[in-house]
Chains A and B, each alone.
Chain A
Amino acid sequence: GESVGLHLPTLSVQEGDNSIINCAYSNSASDYFIWYKQESGKGPQFIIDIRSNMDKRQGQRVTVLLNKTVKHLSLQIAATQPGDSAVYFCAENPHDAGNMLTFGGGTRLMVKP
Chain B
Amino acid sequence: IAGITQAPTSQILAAGRRMTLRCTQDMRHNAMYWYRQDLGLGLRLIHYSNTAGTTGKGEVPDGYSVSRANTDDFPLTLASAVPSQTSVYFCASSDREGNQPQHFGDGTRLSIL
> Is chain B a partner of chain A in the same complex?
yes
The interface residues of chain A, by DSSP majority, are classed as loop
Q: Which residues of B contact A8 (CB under 8 A)?
A: 40
Query: Which positions in A face B, CB cutoff 8 Å?
Result: 3, 5-8, 31-32, 34, 36, 41-46, 49, 51, 89, 93, 98-101, 103-106
User: Contacts A98-B56, A100-B48 known; A93 to B99 CB distance under 8 Å?
Assistant: yes
Whose C-beta in chain B lies nearest to the C-beta of A103? B43
User: Contacts A105-B40, A105-B42 known; A44 to B104 CB distance under 8 Å?
Assistant: yes
Number of A-B contacts (CB under 8 A): 58
User: Contacts A34-B101, A98-B56 known; A3 to B42 CB distance under 8 Å?
Assistant: yes
Give A22 to B98 CA distance when docked, in angstroms. 23
Q: Is the CB of A6 within 8 A of B39?
A: yes
Q: Would you give 10 A-B contacts (Cβ < 8 Å), ordered by A?
A: A3-B41, A34-B102, A42-B107, A44-B43, A45-B104, A46-B101, A93-B99, A98-B58, A104-B42, A105-B40
Q: Is the CB of B90 within 8 A of A31?
A: no
B44 shortest CB reach to chain A, Å: 8
B15 shortest CB reach to chain A, Å: 24
Q: Is the CB of A42 within 8 A of B106?
A: yes
